[in-house]
A = this chain, B = another copy of it.
Amino acid sequence: MNNLKSYIKNNKTRFIDELIELLKIPSISADASYKNDVLKTADAVKEALNKAGCDKVEICETPGYPIVYGEKIIDPKLPTILVYGHYDVQPADPLELWDSPPFEPIIKKTEIHPEGAIFARGACDDKGQMYMHVKALEFMTSTNQLPCNVKFMIEGEEEVGSESLGWFVKRNHEKLANNIILISDTGMIANDIPSITTGLRGLSYVEVEVTGPNRDLHSGLYGGAVANPINILTKMIASLHDENNHITIPGFYDKVEELSSDERAEMAKAPFSLDAYKKALDIDEVYGEKGYTTNERNSIRPTLDVNGIWGGYTGEGAKTVIASQAFAKISMRLVPNQDWKEITDLFKTHFESIAPKSVKVKVTPHHGGQGYVTPIDTIGYKAASKAYQDTFGKTPIPQRSGGSIPIVSLFEDELKSKTILMGFGLNSDAIHSPNEHFGIFNYLKGIETIPLFYNYFTELSKQ
């Protein structure tokens, strides 16, 4: 690629200004009162793709928010890269914890981002990371260096479950046909430690309800003689982990992919400071499954976490009540080969089986998704690795993420293609939290690395 660095340098201010304009629109998909803003953002993305050099850009209607589709096909015989991203953002509350308004982007320097970072909801997740791809395309088309075909599919419901995306993908196999899918919606280890996400965990999310007596009871008159649904729920949840923090649901680990000691040794090379980790969270000790390191526990191992629990009297002061019911929301992060629907069934069967006869138990599955692993011996991974090598001067570390992007396995199932997760955000960028931000260094490095990926992927595809 010629003039890549100079193009970015000359257009840096405009790149930042354009992203800031996009960040000003509060495209909160979870809140219907922002509907017009979500639709306005889809229009803005359409316009940006047009300006960046796409030949054909469409707002594709779905049962929910539209998907912005764009393409530039230079030669059907060349490889095609499908870029996926999303233009919707998480809700911004709690607003009082933001240092500046979430939809009035400002640039501030931080310890981790000495060159400055853009603070706004969606700055990193995913408007900033999505827009890197738009600007990378602009560079390649305006300098006439696009080496392959490109398609964009930018959705507006990622933060609420991507339901319309599944609907759209299933109906548009031909339109979306590609050789590789490229997503920037994950992170990397540090600005001087590039990494590529090679794994995502699956998810099974359930809600449980324990019912005891048919009404709230006086804890003096009935206490000790009747099963207290809260006590029972705590006992049932506690029993889901053994003393080594293994999950006790029969069959839960049956299909878990076990990594070889070589693979684990490779993972252990990733730079990690347990002290810094504990300090950042203000905890004295980490906690988790015996026999695994912190980085293994939150990436290659499945988990079971209570995300919410409630029952009885939770107001000020004291009330001596035995509640009729107690509730919890429980999610399990899953690893490759665990099927989320099967795990959901195992959970339901087990949880119902451990309830004492003195209560009734109801398990309601919420949603879920499969895990995903990118093999690192593919040309997609190799092309990404070489691109990072060029821009960061270091070979990126393959890294499994503990998070879940269920649509990645949907893409594999429906479109039969692999996904490369080239994330440029940092864990400290506070996505989904107040004061979300995205480093200018990261934004520009993304714009620089992406065209190189196009080049290497096209080259390697020819071999």
Question: Counting CB contacts under 8 A, is A213 at the interface?
Answer: yes
Query: A226, B307: Cβ atoms under 8 Å?
Result: no
In the docked arrangement, what's the CA distance between A220 and B302, Å? 10
Q: Return the CB mask of A293-305 against B: 1 if under 8 Å, else 0.
A: 0110110011111
Query: B309, A321: Cβ atoms under 8 Å?
Result: no
- Of B232, B237, B298, B404, the residue contacting A225 (CB under 8 A) is B298
Using A222-B298, A224-B297, A331-B219 as known contacts, say yes or no to A307 and B321 having CB atoms under 8 A apart. yes
Using A318-B367, A320-B331, A402-B224 as known contacts, say yes or no to A356 and B285 having CB atoms under 8 A apart. yes
CB distance from A311 to the nearest CB of B (A): 5
Question: Counting CB contacts under 8 A, is A51 at the interface?
Answer: no
Among A219, A285, A288, the most chain B Cβ lie within 10 Å of the Cβ of: A219
Taking CB atoms and an 8 Å cut-off, the chain A residues in 264-317 that contact chain B are 281-289, 294-295, 297-298, 301-314, 317
Taking CB atoms and an 8 Å cut-off, the chain A residues in 412-442 that contact chain B are 427, 431-433
- Of B220, B235, B303, B310, the residue contacting A404 (CB under 8 A) is B220
Please give the count of copies of this chain that the complex contains.
2
Question: Counting CB contacts under 8 A, is A238 at the interface?
Answer: yes
Smallest CB-CB separation from A303: which chain B residue? B224
Residues of B within 8 A of A108 (CB): none
Query: B230, A241: Cβ atoms under 8 Å?
Result: no
Smallest CB-CB separation from A228: which chain B residue? B305
Smallest CB-CB separation from A357: which chain B residue? B285
Question: Counting CB contacts under 8 A, is A457 at the interface?
Answer: no
Q: Using a CB–CB distance below 8 Å, which chain A residues touch chain B?
A: 201, 203, 205, 207, 212-228, 230-235, 237-239, 241, 281-289, 294-295, 297-298, 301-314, 317-323, 326-329, 331, 333, 356-359, 366-367, 401-404, 427, 431-433
State the 7 A-B residue pairs at the shortest beta-carbon distance, nearest first: A220-B403, A224-B303, A308-B312, A227-B287, A238-B238, A214-B282, A287-B358
Given contacts A307-B320, A320-B404, 16 further A-B contacts (CB under 8 A): A201-B220, A216-B433, A224-B297, A225-B288, A225-B294, A226-B281, A228-B305, A230-B307, A230-B308, A230-B309, A231-B304, A231-B305, A235-B237, A309-B311, A310-B314, A318-B367
